[in-house]
Every structure is written in C-alpha cells, then in structure tokens.
Structure 1
Amino acid sequence: MRHGVRLVGGRIAVMSEVGARDGMHEEGRARRASRLAHNVAMASSTASRSLLEDPLTFGVQIARRFPRARSALLSLARAAGGPERELTRTWLSGDLTATRAMLEELSTRGSLGRLAAEIAHASGRPELIADDPAVHPVARARAAWQLGEASKAISLLADGAPRTRLHRVLRAELALMTPGTRLRWDAGGSAPIGEPWSGVLHLLTNSLPHTQSGYTVRSHAVLMAQREAGLAPTAMTRVGYPVVVGGIGAAALDVVDGIEYYRALPRHLPATPDGRLAQQADALLSLAGRVQPIALQTTTHYPNAIVVREVAKALDLPWAYEVRGMLEQTWVAGLGSEEARQRASSSERFRLTREREAELADAADIVFTLSSSMRDDLAQRGVPRGRIELVPNAIDAALLDRSARTPPDARAVIGLPRDGFWVGSTSSLVDYEGFDVLLDAVRMARSDGVDVRVLLVGEGTARQALEARATAAGLTGVVVFTGRVDRGAAALYRDALDVVVVPRLDLEVTRTVSPLKPIEAMASGRPLIVSALAPLLEIIGPVLARAGSAVPAGDASALAHQITTLASDGGVRAKLVELGLERARGRTWAAVGSTYREGFAVIGARADGRGDVRAS
C-alpha cells in the first residue's frame, strides 16, 4: 500500500492512500450536500416569490421550461373551458404558428382572458392585448414591455398594482437600460489586485455543460483559444445560474476541457435586477481577488457590461466587451407579427437599448466583435473604429484533419437511409433561420424528380410549425427532426448531410449577426449553401459565393435550383468542398487567439504602464 505524507500541526503525519481518498470523498459528499441545500433554498425562495405574486404567469413560464409541469396548466385550461382550453393545448404542443392564428381569431371575438393573454405574451403576439383596457393590467403591462413601450408598462402597473414586484422590476430595468445610469454598488474599499497579475477573467451569461447553444459553444472556444495564446482565462457565469434554469444540483465550479467555470450561487437572490447585478459584482470582485487577472472580459448584452465596468474600475483594471449580437434586433425578430415588430422597432426600449449598448462599448478599453457588419454598426453608433477588433467565428484546427465518414456511412451509423440526397443543418430551429424556405425548396426539387431529403438537427420554437409545414407539403417521411443532440455527436450528424444549408431570412438581426455553423461545415468537408447576407458572405468569401455557395435570401426557387445542381453534379460539389476547406484553414481558433492576445497587449500597455498580459 502506498502512503502519502502531510504536515499536521507542525508534525509529519503519514496517511494511507486509501484513507486519504476516503477522507476526501467524505469531505466531498459533505460539500455537495451543503451546496445542494444552498441551491434548493435559492430556487425555492425565487419560485415562491413568483408563485405568490403572479401564479398564472409563473405557471405559464414553468410549463414552457419544464414539459413535465404542463399537466397543472392543462388542468387550469380545462377549468376555464371553451376556446382557452384548446388554445392551451395547441400552445403546449409547440405549434407556434397555429397558436398565433388561434390567438388572432379569439381577439377578433373580444378581449382575451387572463390565460389567453399570458399565452399571447409567450407566443410573441403582445399587440393583441397591450391596448385592450378589458385585459388584466399585469398582462397588459407585460405585453407593453414586450413591445418596447417601457414607460407605458410601468404606468399600467402604477395605476393598477403599484406595490407588485413586477412594478419594481420594470422600473429597475428601465433605469439600467438608460444611458448614464451607474450600478448602485459599494466595492467595499477594495484595493488594486496585487502581484502576480495573470490572465483574463470572463463574465458570461451561461455556459457548458449546463447550456448548449451557439453562445456557449463560442464562449468555450474563445476560452480555449485564449488559453492556447497564453492568456490563462477563467470564467464566471451570471448570478444564480444554472440553478435558475433548473440545475438544482449545480456545483460551485465546473471544469470543461480544463477550463474553469465558477458559479455565483448565493442562498437568496434579490427581487430586482439591479440588486442581482450588485450581487454579481460582489461575486466577480471576490473571484478576481483569488485569480488576480490582468484584465476582465464580458459579452453582450449590457447587464454584463454594467457589472464588469464597475468591477474593473474598483480594481483599476482594463476591460474588454465582446459584442456578439444586437439585443434589440434579436428581441424584435422573435415577435410573431409584422405589427408587433414595427411597434417594437420604433419603441422607447429599442432606442434606449441601442444607446446603452453603444455607451458601454465606448466605455470599454477594447471591443471585440464577430463581423464587419457588426463593426460598422458599432462605429455608426459612435464607438471609435480603432478600438474595435474583429474576432470571427472559427474552428479547431483538428477539425481540418479529422477523417469524416462519407454521408451514406454517417447516415447508416445514426439510423438513416444510405440513399437519397440529404440537405439540412445543425441549428436552433427559430423563425429567422429560414428553414421554412428550405422545406419549400425541397418540395420544388422533389417535384422535378430529385430525391432530396432533409435532416434538421436541433430544437427551437419553430420546430412544430416546421413539422406541420413538412406534412402539409407532402414531405412526411422525407424530413427528419432529431431534436437536440449531444455536443460530441453534432459532427457525425453534420457528416450525414450531402449539403449543409444556412437559409437565413433577410432581417435586421441576420444582416449583422454571424453564425458558427458555416465555418464548421466548410472545415468538415461539406458543400455549403448560404443566404446572400453580408455576415454569411463574409464567412464564405467571394470565391465560394461566385462558385455557387450563395443564393438570394428567402428565394426558395433559387435554393431548389442550386440543390438540384449539386445533387446531379459531383464535380461542383467537390469544387465547393475544396474551396470551403481552403477558406476554413485561415479561420482557426489559434489565429483568433492571437488577435485576443494582441488586443489585450494594447490595452495592457495603456493601463498605467502595466504592460502585456502575462501568460500563466
């Protein structure tokens, strides 16, 4: 038996390896039990507060997030009876298109009841209730806020229920998004961090392994790229996460591929957003005292930047803001009617959010962003172009050397037919991704005798509507929806595709935001077709665009023609693969990591002569 040696009270003590391991396990079990109790207390207090103040809204939100909790909402709908019962069933089935149509029909008959109003809010149709005085004031206020009419929402609550938490929350939200507002937070007389300074401390909204999304995958890739560049990154996620999204058993630290993700998990969360941001600042300041970073970094949107600006000031450190999207554009794109989108685009909240994001980007020592179109947008808002660095989505260089299966072989592994010409994507299934256009294009190609089939890997609010569209188009059995798959399996599903298609619609949000999947498809040796939108054209480059990888956004006929061409001409497919691989070789995370290092070297040199970011 091997033995270990440790110092106990100034004396040398000898423990057996088995005994030491058992002691560590006991300590670990005790810590886990304590953390679980802590997390349960946080979740319980937060849920109880919401349940007591607005049980119906709470029930609808829980039903959206946790399918097993839907029976209670169905019972309530049965009690309500009539149209609300069928509306609730339709909404819970996930068919957003049918739900929105039912809501519109019900609104023409008269005012929507409280349950129907909550479903209208959850379905992106707030314009159906915001102006109806017969609707409950809380529901109207939530709808007005969703439309961006912030002051109107607060006024409705002040008239009807001035002491509700929602009234306090919305007032605080409005203050936080208003340019010039600083977080009310006391750093407690913190002193600058001592030697040795090392690395970059990140504040993230969420992360792996609890959330798998484009945001978390990019965040993880950035952290690993910075590590390879010698920047010694560490990350903390927003206060309460992942407990607030159902991760009751979450630990205070997760390590993924050697990257440390710290969690800010207090026993109780404040009732208002400004209180939570102050709590977040306390947690970030405490972690900074332990890891002693040379700089801080965060990502959109503005609540993260509000916190990081204050903590950086308290510690006299430079900070970076990574703008990955325009919050107001994404919010508007998620609304369910043109009327709602137009109202939101001209609203108080839309204007303030744009101004707030610009103000905080201007306050950062350096801004990183994903595409030239996003850089241009920021510059037009007044952020100095010289302080904006491009850090596009990239790929792990190992993906270029990976031996991918042929599409038929990959399909056989995952249980799909080897035959047929399969197109599709691994993506969130949301309206602006344009997969309805892809289904229309496939229907057209099949009507011309081409055996085209569709594989859509992912989950999202548009899934049920897409399934219904496929059925209506006679594509039953031709279109396969897998739902969400494990992160490690995504490459295999991508291998199963003969062509990866990114058919995004032409909307304000898609004209600026750059997705990750096109560069991954090119690096995987898959032919690629994208909508001819600026961020996507920037990813593929002009040579691939001229070779046939771009079609007009929203044009199902043009997409069908290009799919048919690729299905019938292996030479064209091979050319697109060759050009895509060449393009991907210049877009690795190693290259992106050097951009981060150079950027931090510049701001480090500005920061009172502290110089470069030191490698770990």
Structure 2
Amino acid sequence: MPSGPRARRALTSAARRGYRVAQRLRPRASASDGRPAASVCAELEALTQEGRGDAAVALVRRELDALGRDVVFLDLARRAASRAGEPTLQLEVVRAQLAATSRLEAPVRARLERARRQVEGRLRETDPSWAPGVPAEVVRSAVELLDQARAERGGGLPLRPAHLLKIALPQRQSGYSVRTRYNLAAQVEAGLDPVAVTALDFAADDDSPQDVHGVPHHHLRRAEVPVHETHDEHLDAYASALAPVLAGLAPDLLHVHSGGRGYEAALVGGAVAQALGLPWVYEVRGFFEATWSPDPEHAEVAETYRRRRAADTRAMLAADAVVTLSESMRGDIVGRGVPAERVHVVPNGVDAQAFSPRERRPELVQRYGLEGRFVFGYVSNLDHYREAQELLVDAAMALRAKGVDATALVVGDGQRRAEVEAHAAAVGAGDAVVFTGRVPHDEVLDHYALMDVFVVPRVDEQAARLVTPLKPFEAMAAGLPVVVSDLPALTEITGAGARGESFPAGDGTALADVLARLHADPARRAELAAAGREWVSTQRSWSANGPRYQAVYDAVLRDR
C-alpha cells in the first residue's frame, strides 16, 4: 500500500482534519505489522471506496486492537463496517471511539453517543428476544375500547379484516399501493368489510379517516417526530399508536403487509395483535433483507442480511397464516420452515378493462422520435440495480448493429436514472434509447402502447428471483408480447414460453437475439400478446383475489 504523501492524499478531507486533531491530542499508534497508522488508514479508505467490503472488514478486525485509540482509523473503521452491513462490528468500533475520546470533546462525544444508540437500535429490532413494547396502561385501555367497539358494532356483520399498510393511495402511487387498492376492492366485492391503517408517520394531511375507493383508511400521526429516534424506539411508538386505533375499529383479525424493511410492520402488528387477543395474517410482499445495499456481491452475505432474513422468518412463523405473491415466493417461505398449509398465494393481478390495448398517440410518437422504429422497453422505477435498465441500452445498440432500427424506451424515474443515462452516453447510444422520466399516472397506458415488446430485464438477485413484479401483468393486459429474464418469478408469469419469451439474466446480447427474432416475426408477437392478455384476463384479475383472501381468513378463524 502507498505510504507517506501518497497515503495522505488517499484519505478524505474529513479524515485529514481528524489527523490534525488526533496529532494534537495523542501520539500516533502503529499497526499490528508495524506499519504507520496512516498507511493502514489509506488502505482501509481505498477498500471501502472500491466496495471491497469483506477485505475492509477483515482489515478492521485485524487492526482494531492495535489502532483502537487512533481516532482517524476508528472513524474510517466505523464507516467501513456500516457500508459492509456489519452492525455488531460497527457498534464495537463506536464504543472504541467513545473510549478514545476525551470528556472535554463534548460535541464529538454527543455525535458518537447518537451513533451508538442508532446501531444498538438496529441490532435490537432484529434480536430474537426483543419485540415492540406497548405500555400496560395502553393495553388495558385498548382492550376496553375493543370490547366497547365490538358491542357497538354488533353481530351478524361481514367479516372485518384490518390491514396494516406501509403506504397507501392517494398519497403514494406505487405497485405496493396499487395492489392494496385493488385487493381491498376485491375484498369488498367478496362481501368482506376491510379497513386500513397506515404506518406511523406516513405522509398524510392529518390523522382523520379517509376513504380510498370506498375503504376507510386511518393514519397514525404524531404532532412531533423525535429527533434522532432509533429503530426500536420508533417501533415502540408505532405499536403504542396502533393499539387504540386498531381496537376502535373492532376487527375480526389483523392483516399485516410488509413494511419498508419487511419485518418491522410484522413486529409491530404481531405485538399489538397478541396484546388485543387478535389472530393475524402476515402478507409477505417481498424479501427485503437484501435491499439494504446497492452492492450485489455483498448484499446477500452480510450480517445485516442475515439478521433481517432471520427476523422476517420469525414473523412468518409467528403469524397465524402467511400470504404471498407467487409460487416462487411460497417455496422460499416453506423452505424456511413455515408449514406449507399455512402459506397461501394471492397473486398480483390487473384490471383488464382499465389496461386494454389501444392505439399509439401520434403526439407521443413524435415527441420521442419513434416513427417507424421497432420499440421495446420497460415501465419501472430506476431505484434499484435489480431492474437493470442498462441491458435495454445494450440490446438497442446490438439491434442497431444488426440493422434493426430499434429504440429502447425507458419509462420511469429514480435514484439510478443518472447512472443509466451515463451508461447510455458511454456506449454512444444516442437516439437508440429514450428516457421519458416520470409520466403522469393517466398517461402510463399510452406509454405501454408505444412499445412493440415489453421487456423485464431484471438481473439475478434474491428479490428478482422470487418476487413477481406488477408491470408484466399490466403489459399483458395492454396487449403487448412480453420478454423476461429467465428468473423463476418471471418465467412463472410467461409460462415457459406459452405467454412470453425469456433470455439469460444479465445477457444483453441474448436479449437482443430474442428481440431480433420477434422483430422479424410479427405473427409470433401477436400470438404471445393474445395468449398473455387471455391469461391475465381469466387467471390474474384482481377480483379473483377476494375469494382467495376470504378462504385464508376463514381458515385462520376456524383454527383459533
């Protein structure tokens, strides 16, 4: 590794400022192999910036004893452990930082104390022995309220499930909220009486009930959100806020849907359901344990991944029943030890009347320069690497090289848009790719209609392998032939070629080959389009999910 001036240049400006402070406060330590601390810090900084988390963590573990009072090394070590998803090591480093910090450095100690509490909170919420707490007086009051609300509601009424949601319409438009909207409507159509409660501090104008397509939604709001609130403190507050609201609704059972980290809504819902004596169902909408990091090489092996996966599994085992979106997801859940008879599939669906084939709007064709071109594309957010919109760019370039006047249409926006656009610029894509950005909801179907083929280019990572996205169903209903990467959750949709084509995940050249064949064979495109629309219309309508939920609820209540 570089030493001397080269090592110092490798450090961030913040680290160099830390060096100056450290040099005034205490003499510098040496590494376990005798190297200067500056050299070790430069190596650690480089490993972290290069995303080599395993090597960075190994270096921290090896040198923590020798450099356990070097404030610059400790600061870099804490960041490395955080980025690598190793919270236990991160906590060890923070505690070493506190031990190495003078009592006179009050602002620094305050920052480190906050960091310590944050890491402890993240560890506590995934600890098997911990659950959100509801104060005894809140439980007593909520139980009394539940009895009163049940008496006022009376008997002989439709079964009432209370849905605990991460987000909801109209405040948030996403695949999550669209699934919720249509499935709750399907429950009403099936004769159920659903109500909904959104997560604590979800963005809403106020905490008054709000109907969303005829289903009452209640929002848990606080007058003031505490500054620097830790994960476990938030979940404690969430449970305390939920208990009285849920009791006042007098539900027959609680239906918890995955939260932002997956398991945290189930931790809260399970604790409150137990306190109120309610049965509860956990709807696993995705496997979120691998979403903590954008690094596909490390996301599924780090401590954060293992702890989150274990916490989600415990929630599945604790629930009276588990609902999920596909057979691929069900297989994973059963593989975790959840009894197969308690795991039920309620698939994503589509409103085949709302999403129906239509003609291209000439003004959109002109706006995007698509006249006379073979157009393929994807409608999705650009937030996560799993969506792999870069493959669309590569396929468009390969098709152009084959003499096909093709354009990749990327519909949507998100954190990775600049990254994907940079890739397009780097390969000189030019008008071979069009980025529309975010489009109004009422124009989404018009953008589907611009495409000759709809492509789901997801790469091979856990959620992509197992979780079925909503967009292919919409594309099929819109009358588009669908091409997907060959991952189980996606080929389950295309039916092994009966309703769509597939290509090896991550292979842009193979995708281009499939698209070239479809470009040359309009009859095959029409055949796939017709088969896909027929399948979603008959097998994946949202209305069919109402009876599916009814059967799950009946089984849960019968077994109590």
Aligned counterpart for 1:258 among listed residues 208, 211, 214: 214
- Give the aligned partner of residue 167 of structure 1: 116
- Give the aligned partner of residue 350 of structure 2: 395
Distance (whole Å) between structure 2 residues aligned to residue 557 and residue 149 of structure 1: 37
Instruction: Give the structure-1-normalised TM-score.
Output: 0.73
Residues 410 and 495 of structure 1 are in contact (CA less than 8 Å); yes or no, is this contact kept in structure 2? no
Residues 111 and 135 of structure 1 are in contact (CA less than 8 Å); yes or no, is this contact kept in structure 2? no
- Give the aligned partner of residue 91 of structure 2: 154
- Give the aligned partner of residue 270 of structure 2: 309
Cα deviation, residue 360, structure 1: 1.0
Amino acid at match of 1:311: V
Distance (whole Å) between structure 1 residues aligned to residue 366 and residue 557 of structure 2: 50
Distance (whole Å) between structure 2 residues aligned to residue 534 and residue 299 of structure 1: 23
Instruction: Write out aligned runs for 1:249-288 (5 A).
Output: 252-270=208-226, 271-288=229-246
Distance (whole Å) between structure 2 residues aligned to residue 135 and residue 325 of structure 1: 39
Residues 161 and 194 of structure 2 are in contact (CA less than 8 Å); yes or no, is this contact kept in structure 1? yes
Instruction: Write out aligned runs for 1:20-39 (5 A).
Output: none
User: Quick one: structure 1 residues 580 and 456, their matched pair in 2 at CA, closer, same or farther if it must change by over 3 Å?
Assistant: same
RMSD (Å) for aligned C-alpha atoms: 3.1
SS in 1 for 2:323: strand
- Give the aligned partner of residue 355 of structure 1: 310
Distance (whole Å) between structure 2 residues aligned to residue 359 and residue 482 of structure 1: 42
Aligned counterpart for 2:513 among listed residues 561, 578, 582: 561
Amino acid at match of 2:253: A
What CA deviation, in whole Å up to 9, does each residue of 1:260-310 have, x standing for no partner?
332211123342222222221222222223321111111221110111112
Instruction: Write out aligned runs for 1:193-204 (5 A).
Output: 193=147, 194-195=150-151, 196=154, 198-204=159-165
- Give the aligned partner of residue 26 of structure 2: none
Cα deviation, residue 142, structure 1: 4.9
User: Quick one: structure 1 residues 573 and 153, their matched pair in 2 at CA, closer, same or farther if it must change by over 3 Å?
Assistant: same
The alignment-based identity, stated in percent, is: 34
Aligned residues: 487
Cα deviation, residue 138, structure 1: 5.7
User: Quick one: structure 1 residues 498 and 268, their matched pair in 2 at CA, closer, same or farther if it must change by over 3 Å?
Assistant: same
SS in 2 for 1:398: coil
User: Quick one: structure 1 residues 494 and 125, their matched pair in 2 at CA, closer, same or farther if it must change by over 3 Å?
Assistant: farther
What CA deviation, in whole Å up to 9, does each residue of 1:392-435 have, x standing for no partner?
111124236x4x32246473486653321111111012311122
Aligned counterpart for 1:380 among listed residues 318, 332, 335: 335
SS in 1 for 2:377: strand
Cα deviation, residue 235, structure 1: 1.8
Cα deviation, residue 141, structure 1: 3.0
- Give the aligned partner of residue 125 of structure 2: 176
Residues 376 and 454 of structure 2 are in contact (CA less than 8 Å); yes or no, is this contact kept in structure 1? yes
User: Quick one: structure 1 residues 109 and 167, their matched pair in 2 at CA, closer, same or farther if it must change by over 3 Å?
Assistant: closer
SS in 2 for 1:345: coil
- Give the aligned partner of residue 71 of structure 1: none
Residues 111 and 134 of structure 1 are in contact (CA less than 8 Å); yes or no, is this contact kept in structure 2? no
Cα deviation, residue 499, structure 1: 0.9
Cα deviation, residue 206, structure 1: 2.0
Cα deviation, residue 520, structure 1: 1.0
Cα deviation, residue 153, structure 1: 1.1
Aligned counterpart for 2:280 among listed residues 316, 319, 324: 319
Cα deviation, residue 555, structure 1: 2.0
User: Quick one: structure 1 residues 146 and 596, their matched pair in 2 at CA, closer, same or farther if it must change by over 3 Å?
Assistant: farther
- Gapped runs of 5+ residues in structure 2? 1-11, 18-39, 61-69, 99-108
Aligned counterpart for 1:551 among listed residues 500, 503, 510: 503
Instruction: Write out aligned runs for 1:458-537 (5 A).
Output: 458-537=412-491
Cα deviation, residue 226, structure 1: 2.1
User: Quick one: structure 1 residues 550 and 473, their matched pair in 2 at CA, closer, same or farther if it must change by over 3 Å?
Assistant: same
- Give the aligned partner of residue 583 of structure 1: 535
Residues 94 and 116 of structure 2 are in contact (CA less than 8 Å); yes or no, is this contact kept in structure 1? yes
Cα deviation, residue 437, structure 1: 1.7
SS in 1 for 2:524: helix
Distance (whole Å) between structure 1 residues aligned to residue 392 and residue 277 of structure 2: 51
Amino acid at match of 1:505: V
- 1:188 equivalent to 2:149? Answer no
Residues 71 and 97 of structure 2 are in contact (CA less than 8 Å); yes or no, is this contact kept in structure 1? no
Instruction: Give the structure-2-normalised TM-score.
Output: 0.79
Instruction: Write out aligned runs for 1:132-151 (5 A).
Output: 135=72, 137=74, 140-151=77-88
SS in 2 for 1:209: coil
- Give the aligned partner of residue 22 of structure 2: none
Aligned counterpart for 1:593 among listed residues 539, 546, 550: 546
Amino acid at match of 2:139: G
SS in 2 for 1:223: helix
Residues 441 and 559 of structure 1 are in contact (CA less than 8 Å); yes or no, is this contact kept in structure 2? yes
Higher relative contact order (CA 8 A, sep 6+): 1
- Give the aligned partner of residue 33 of structure 2: none
Aligned counterpart for 1:572 among listed residues 505, 524, 531: 524
Residues 358 and 478 of structure 2 are in contact (CA less than 8 Å); yes or no, is this contact kept in structure 1? no
Distance (whole Å) between structure 1 residues aligned to residue 44 and residue 337 of structure 2: 44
- 1:456 equivalent to 2:410? Answer yes
Worse-matched range after superposition: 141-150 or 388-397: 141-150
Instruction: Write out aligned runs for 1:361-440 (5 A).
Output: 361-399=316-354, 402=356, 404-407=357-360, 409=362, 411-412=364-365, 416-429=369-382, 430-440=384-394
Amino acid at match of 1:530: V
Residues 369 and 390 of structure 1 are in contact (CA less than 8 Å); yes or no, is this contact kept in structure 2? yes
Aligned counterpart for 1:542 among listed residues 467, 481, 496: 496
Cα deviation, residue 111, structure 1: 6.3
User: Quick one: structure 1 residues 266 and 390, their matched pair in 2 at CA, closer, same or farther if it must change by over 3 Å?
Assistant: same
Distance (whole Å) between structure 2 residues aligned to residue 166 and residue 228 of structure 1: 49
Amino acid at match of 2:245: L
Distance (whole Å) between structure 1 residues aligned to residue 130 and residue 456 of structure 2: 40
What CA deviation, in whole Å up to 9, does each residue of 1:587-612 have, x standing for no partner?
111111211111111112223xxxxx
Distance (whole Å) between structure 1 residues aligned to residue 522 and residue 117 of structure 2: 62
What CA deviation, in whole Å up to 9, does each residue of 1:435-469 have, x standing for no partner?
21221111111111111001111122321121122
SS in 2 for 1:461: coil
Residues 423 and 499 of structure 1 are in contact (CA less than 8 Å); yes or no, is this contact kept in structure 2? yes
Residues 408 and 417 of structure 1 are in contact (CA less than 8 Å); yes or no, is this contact kept in structure 2? no
Residues 252 and 265 of structure 1 are in contact (CA less than 8 Å); yes or no, is this contact kept in structure 2? no
User: Quick one: structure 1 residues 408 and 264, their matched pair in 2 at CA, closer, same or farther if it must change by over 3 Å?
Assistant: closer
Cα deviation, residue 204, structure 1: 1.5
